[in-house]
Each structure stands twice: as structure tokens, then as C-alpha cells.
Amino acid sequence: MENNQKPIVFLSHSSLDKEPLAAIKQVLDKRAAGFLNFFLSSDGESIKFGRNWVVSVSDALSQAKLMFVFLSPQSADSKWIHFEAGCAYAKDIRVVPVCLPGIDLNRITAPLNLLQGFNLHSHEALGNIVRICNERFGVKIEEAFNEEDFYDITHNLTGFGEGFFGAQCPSIDYISIVVTRKLSTVEFNPIPALEEMCKEANMRCRQLDPKDNDGFLSVSVEQAGCEITFQHSEDPQKRQARFANRPVEKGVPHNYFIECKLSPELFHINAPLLDGWFKKVGIAFPVNLTIHFRKQIDVERERHRLTAKLYQAGINLTKKGSFELEGLVLKFSQTRPCKLPTYPKEKLDDKRFVRILEKLFKGSVLWESEPEESVDSESYSY
């Protein structure tokens, strides 16, 4: 049987992701054993040297019965990928979005987010590609993969690990989000909704051992790159009276408290998830978001120099200790490690954070200081 007579599975991708896609195609070709033709425009095989690239892609699209659209942090907004997917969808070809490690389905925008897809974040998810091919073409290709297969494919992803904050990512220790609101009923607990959303997004989420919080609800959950604590708390006056052994009026706890600790490497995955969670359970913005820098990052401490550098960077002085860029208010901590508290009013997945950090480092408002003298290695126990 000639190669072009086989059912064609079109692997749409960005040239930035050609290495992991070449590895995926190699694995799929081996599994399919010649029953399917996996078309990958960048592999040097699907399009023979000397042939017109645009014509070859158009021919493959006209014959394909299935398309997987592979997305990464670098390619999620690629106009060409959206164009290819649109052409395929118009031809009644099944289009399946696939998010490579470093990006989540929650990050995908229309129209691709209207299609049923999955996150390729584990070796189990890798089997989804084969399973869909088996269902579409009535073949019986082995669907099971192991962790080594997954690592071989994904370890060399372009830009993997930088994510949302890009080049500034290594400067950040973690991001904290704090929410305190009035509690209407003692039964209010948004954690089950979060666990369900993680399950739907194919993200592993586990509940930690509940803590004793003086009889009030306290729950912690953990997922990759994110720790979340939710708890009820008393009205401060009632709590003070109780500890002073004075009579306390019984009733519903006064507040609830949410604290999230996120890694910068997976912020682009967890921030949209938290945005969706807040919306689902009715937690309104603004919230308190603080970027915590690593200990080697320092901030300009001289007031006159700080205001001058901020002005040159296009960041406006609003009131004492507060500044503004593109409508986002921020502050500077004089402590070390330094912190940057902000108060987003609409969402956590806000690219203004990235632009602010770029301006602060470029304008020498923030910089990496010389490392402190290390302790003599003889004082360590190994």
C-alpha cells in the first residue's frame, strides 16, 4: 500500500516544538506499524525535500481524517496553528487540541477551547492519542506508555520551565495569593469544587491532612506547583473574648481565609485554574497577590532614586508607597528578600505582571546582587 493511501493523521504544531513533535511522531509511527500516516510538516519526511511546502500541507489537510493540534507556551497564540485548525474543522476533520507540558487547557482561547482536548502532562495521557486513532480508524494499536516514553518526548521542550514569567522566572521564589471574605454560612467550603476542576483538567490534586483550627473548618490541598489552604476564622473580638475566658456569643464564624502558594514555573497553569475556581464559587476580585523574590534579588532603597527610576520606566507614583502601571497598583517591600504586593481586580492570569517585571529589571529598580559569602563547607554535615 502506498504511503498516501493510508489514513492521514495531521500533527499540527509550531516549528518551536518540532523536536518533541518529531519524538511523538517516531513513537506513533513505530506503534502504528504502517497502518497510519502521521503527517508532520517539520520532520523532513512527510514533505520531501524540493517539494512546495504550502502545497504539501494543503494536500495533507485535504486528505486527513483526524488532526491533533499540539500547543505549548510558545505556540498557544500562533496564528498559523489556529489557521490550520480552522481549515481542518471547515473540512469536517476532527480536531483535538493537545496541551504539552508547560501549558493547560484552561489557558487556550477561542475557538480551540470550544473543542474537546486533553493535557499531555503524563504517560497515561500520551495513550489518549493512540486511543483516539483506534476509535477513529478502527485499528488496534497498543495504547499503553510508560514514564520513560513520556520523558523521551517532553524533556527537550523549547522554553520548558519558564512559563508565564519568561526570563524573570529564575528571580522569583514563589507567588502568594491571600483572600479574606465574610462567611455567610458555616457550610461554605469551596475545596470540593477545586478538586472537581482539577480532575476535569487532568491535574492531580490531593487533600492534605486537615488541621485542628479550634473547631473551625480548615482544609489544605496540593497540586503540582500550588498549595492552597482554606479555613474559617472568628470575628477578632469574639476570639479575643474567648481567650480571655469571657462569655462569647455562639454563632457562625465571621470570616473565611484562603491562602495560595504558587511556583513561578507553573503559574501559567495554576493561575487560570484559580481564576476559574474563584468565579465558580463566587470569590470576587480584587485579591492580594504578592510576588516573593529570591534572596539575591534586591530593590532600590533610596527614595529619590526609586521614584526617578520608576518614572523613567513609565511606572507612575500614586500615593506614598504605591505605584501604578496600566491600571495595576503595586508596592515595594524594603525587606529582604524583597516582595512586590499587587491587587489584581479581574484575574490572576494577567500579562501586566510580566511587563512590570521586565520594566523593573531593565530600569535597575530590581537587580540581582552579588552572592553573599558562603559558609565554609567544613561546617556542613553530609
Q: What pTM did the predictor assign? A: 0.59
CATH number of 176-284: 3.30.310
Confidence at residue 299, expressed as pLDDT on a 0 to 100 scale? 87
In this prediction, residue 378 has a pLDDT band, given cuts at 50, 70 and 90, of: very low
- pLDDT over 70 (residue 148): yes
The pLDDT of residue 161 is above 50: no
Q: Residue with C-alpha cell 507612575?
A: 316
pLDDT at residue 120, as a whole number? 87
Tell me how many degrees the CA angle 5-6-8 measures, rounded to the nearest 5: 110
Mean residue pLDDT across the chain: 80
Give the mean pLDDT of 33-39. Answer: 88
279 pLDDT more than 90 = yes
- Predicted confidence band at 259 (pLDDT cuts at 50, 70, 90)? very high
Compute the average pLDDT of residues 196-203.
76
Position 376 scores a pLDDT of 40
- Mean pLDDT score, 198-204: 73
Q: Is the pLDDT of residue 52 over 70?
A: no
Domain 3-154 and domain 176-284, same fold? Reply is: no
pLDDT band at 331 (very low <50, low <70, confident <90, very high): confident
Q: How large a percentage of the chain has pLDDT more than 90?
A: 23
Fold of 285-370: TATA-Binding Protein (3.30.310)
Does the 3-154 domain belong in CATH 3.40.50.720?
no
pLDDT category at 278 given cuts 50, 70, 90 is very high
Mean pLDDT value across residues 142-148: 86
Where in the chain are the domains?
A: 3-154, 176-284, 285-370
Q: What are 64-118's pLDDT values in tens digits?
A: 889 999 988 777 777 788 888 888 888 889 999 998 877 777 767 778 888 889 9
306-316 pLDDT per residue, tens: 889 888 888 88
For residues 224 and 226, which has the higher predicted lDDT (pLDDT)?
226
Q: How confident is the model at residue 317 (pLDDT cuts 50, 70, 90)?
A: confident
Residue 375: what pLDDT? 38
Q: What is the rounded average pLDDT of the residues 119-131?
A: 88
Q: What is the per-residue pLDDT for 122?
A: 80
pLDDT for 152 beyond 50: yes
